[in-house]
Amino acid sequence: MFIDLTEKKVVVAGAGTIAKRRIRSLLNFTNHLTVIAPEVNKELKSLEAEGLLTILKRKCEMEDFYSADLVIAATNDAQINNAIYDTCRKQGILVNVCSDKQKCDFYFPGIAMKDQVVVGITASGKDHKRAKALVEQIRSIL
Mean pLDDT by 10 residues, the chain (142 residues): 91 96 94 96 96 97 97 97 98 95 90 90 82 91 90
Output the domain CATH number for residue 32.
3.40.50.720
Domains contained in the chain, number:
2
Residue 3 lies in a domain: no
Dihedral of CA atoms 94, 100, 102, 107 in degrees, nearest 10, equals: 50
Half-sphere exposure of 42 (CA within 13 A, CB side): 0
Does the predicted model carry a pTM greater than 0.75?
yes
pLDDT at position 127: 82
pLDDT at position 1: 74
**Distance in angstroms (rounded) separating the CA atoms of residues 58 and 52:** 19
Residue 74 lies in a domain: yes
Dihedral of CA atoms 78, 21, 28, 123 in degrees, nearest 10, equals: -90
Residue 45 lies in a domain: yes
Q: Identify the domain containing residue 129 by its residue range.
A: 110-141
Residue 2 lies in a domain: no
> Do 75 and 119 belong together in one domain?
no
